[in-house]
A and B are shown apart, each in its own frame.
Chain A
Amino acid sequence: MQERMNNAPLFVKVEDYKGILGILEDLKDKLTEAKSTLERLQEIRKEEDNEFAQWSTTLDEIEKRMDNIDQELLEPEGM
């Protein structure tokens, strides 16, 4: 008896069924939106990483030039 009840088909009003399908459609749209927002966030993270890498290169360059100046000024001609 119980098994029969478990496997019994469930009937849903057509109006309710349409409503459920509408919600499912909305959910799919929202998921697509969430996915594209997440993709944009990943892009931003990549851009940030790139900016940091460039910053590091610039600082290395400044350090190299400072070393050159330091060397020139600390060991002047005739000293």
Chain B
Amino acid sequence: MTANKSEEVFVAIRDPIEIRRDILECSKEVIDSLKKFQNLERLKAEKFKEINSLRAIIRDISRKISKLKSAMPKTKIRLETSKAKEEKKTEQEEQQEEKEEKPVEVKKKPATEIDKLEFELSEIESKLNELSGN
């Protein structure tokens, strides 16, 4: 044991104070990073809250637009022209023929939120097309 001790080799470090300072600075910066992480978590929580609030507002806007739509007078001003009537008649005939050929498909109700929104969008688009057609 004593023989081993006499053979021990030491390495001199040129600037130990500088190394110690570097280590302390590193440790300070790591703690600073952790503090930043806390701040980021706070921002994330706030963002989540704001997104939820925005979603609620947009839903409210959607409800109010529907309310506005229903508050408008339900008067069909436009008269159907004879040509439009004929077109409608032929379309109905075609649809009836198709119904006779094919078994009746059950229209599925929209399952997810996105499906529901897509369904609403397609309905609005078809209404817009009807309006521009007139």
A complexed with B: yes
From residue A76, how far is it (CB to closest CB) to chain B in Å?
5
- Flag if A6 contacts B78 (CB, 8 Å): yes
Majority secondary structure, B binding face:
helix
**Size of A's binding interface in residues, CB under 8 A:** 43
B121 at the interface (CB under 8 A from A): no
B120 contacts the other chain (CB 8 A): no
B133 to chain A, nearest CB (A): 13
User: Are B36 and A51 in contact, with the CB atoms below 8 A?
Assistant: yes
Which residues of chain B come closer than 8 Å to A79, judged between CB atoms? Answer: 11
Q: Is B18 an interface residue (CB 8 A)?
A: yes
Give chain B residues whose Cβ lies under 8 Å from the Cβ of A58: 29, 32-33, 36
Minimum CB–CB distance for A5 against chain B, Å? 5
A-contacting residues of B (Cβ < 8 Å)?
11-15, 18-19, 22-23, 25-26, 29-30, 32-33, 36, 39-40, 43, 46-47, 50-51, 53-54, 57-58, 60-61, 64-65, 67-68, 71-73, 75, 77-79, 81
User: What distance in Å separates the Cβ of B82 from its nearest Cβ neighbour in chain A?
Assistant: 11
A residues near B (Cβ < 8 Å) are 1-2, 5-6, 8, 10, 12, 16, 19-20, 23-24, 26-27, 30-31, 33-34, 37-38, 40-41, 44-45, 47-48, 51, 54-55, 58-59, 61-62, 65-66, 68-69, 72-73, 76-79
Contacts of B40 in A (CB 8 A): 48, 51
- Which residues of chain A are within 8 angstroms of B43 by Cβ–Cβ distance? 44, 47-48, 51
Contact of B19 among A12, A48, A72 (CB under 8 A): A72
